[in-house]
Amino acid sequence: MEIFGIPLFDDDFYKMLIKLIINVIFLTGIIRFIYYKYSKKKEYLFTFYLIGTVVFFLCFTLKKYELDLGMALGLFAIFGILRYRTTPIDVKEMTYLFVVIGISVMNALSNKKMSYVEILSANSIILFVVYFFERFYNQNMVLKKDIIYETIENIHPENHDKLKEDIQQRLGIQIVKLEIGDINFLRDTAEITVYYKN
């Protein structure tokens, strides 16, 4: 049955549902159980899920047309360089965004030449690699954080142990080293760069 030359139902609907379920499962594994577990940043969860879902449906819909490889790669590149001009995105978040887009494109554009076992294997390998590097590779990395510190008397060289202990207690992190930057004597504050273990 057709309405204005458009079929009311197509067997591809079932393929779309199965691929969508696979996509959502692996996106949830990466976004909720890896990214959020180790970063604790809620503000990007909505973005990752929404972009992953929209890219999936966009690619699945465009797959109906005869797209050559150049067009597909161009589409992927457009989403890959997506930047939000209002707030800068960290490299880690951009990497996760790239992974989310990559998985969604891969799941949507898979065709008859690729079995479901291959699709699941590819998704699983990406999930494992993300987990491995997030869990083990970053474990001993030294991270950097800039803070404004108000107990100005602790910036004196003889009080550096007090300064380190105070910041460790407040932030709950293990400090490797501190760098004191600009000092504002009018407000009794100092800009301090804290290097700490993840």
pLDDT attached to residue 29: 96
Asked whether 196 and 142 are in contact (CB, 8 A), the reply is yes
Q: Crossing angle for the helix pair 12-30 and 116-132, nearest 10 degrees?
A: 10
Residue 103 to residue 110: CA distance in whole angstroms? 11
Of 173, 180, 179, residue with least CA distance to 197: 173
0.75 surpassed by pTM? no
Q: What average pLDDT does range 46-69 have in this prediction?
A: 82
Residue range 71-125, pLDDT digits in tens: 666 666 665 565 555 566 777 888 898 899 899 989 998 888 889 999 999 999 9
What pairs with residue 176 in β-bridges? none
CA 58 to chain centre: 20
Residue 74 to residue 87: CA distance in whole angstroms? 25
**% of the chain with per-residue pLDDT over 90:** 37
Residue range 7-19, pLDDT digits in tens: 777 778 889 999 9
Virtual CA dihedral for 24, 30, 33, 37, nearest 10 degrees?
-140
Please identify which residue in the block is written with the tokens 């105070």. Answer: 166
Average per-residue pLDDT in the chain? 84
Q: Which of 44-48, 66-70, 168-172 has the lowest mean pLDDT?
A: 66-70
